[in-house]
Amino acid sequence: MKAIVSASAEATPQFYDLDPLNIVWHGNYPKYLELGRCAVMEKIGYGYSEMAASGYVWPFIDYRMRYARPMRLNTPVRITAGIVEWESMMRIVYAIEEVETGERVMRASSSQVAVSIETNEMQWQSPQVFLDKLAPFLPRSA
């Protein structure tokens, strides 16, 4: 599936991210993915403050990660995130690559659904405010 909009962020693993094997601990990978997710959400103008102001929160309902190789101390990585599904949920795909070599570190995906802050009810389709943010990136039909 091709992303309709994507954005990237860069990060460099630090000592506090490492496990006893001297590689980034697997439990720290979601925080790197979050950097990519925030970048794509900022690109469409729907970051955390805009979400809250719109009356919705977007909890994760699914997270999948596929590791290819470990991230290492002081080796910069590029995290790219792209929105691939938006009508009934927000599905984002991710890729992490080493900046210098371009080698794949991992691929991942996440799914989030809109929940009304007022009623605490899950929305079965994405709210119009989210669709409006995506409208400039959607392919135009002929």
- Domain ranges across the chain: 5-137
Q: How confident is the model at residue 1 (pLDDT cuts 50, 70, 90)?
A: low
Homologous superfamily of domain range 5-137: Hotdog Thioesterase (3.10.129.10)
Distance CA 101, CA 76 (A): 10
pTM value is 0.93
Q: What are the φ/ψ torsions at residue 31 (nearest 5 degrees)?
A: -70, -30
Q: Which residues have C-beta within 8 Å of that of residue 10, sequence separation ≥ 6?
A: 76, 77, 78, 79, 99
Instruction: Please name which of 127, 136, 133 lies closest in space to residue 57, comparing C-alpha atoms.
Output: 127
Residue with tokens 């659904």: 113
Give yes or no for residue 130 having a pLDDT over 60: yes
Given this model, what pLDDT does residue 31 score?
Answer: 96
Give the chain's length: 142
Task: Summarize pLDDT for 78-100 with one digit per residue, the tens.
Answer: 999 999 999 999 999 999 999 99
Given this model, what pLDDT does residue 66 score?
Answer: 97
Task: Summarize pLDDT for 19-57 with one digit per residue, the tens.
Answer: 999 999 999 999 999 999 999 999 999 999 999 999 999
- The DSSP letter of residue 119 is T
Given this model, what pLDDT does residue 139 score?
Answer: 83
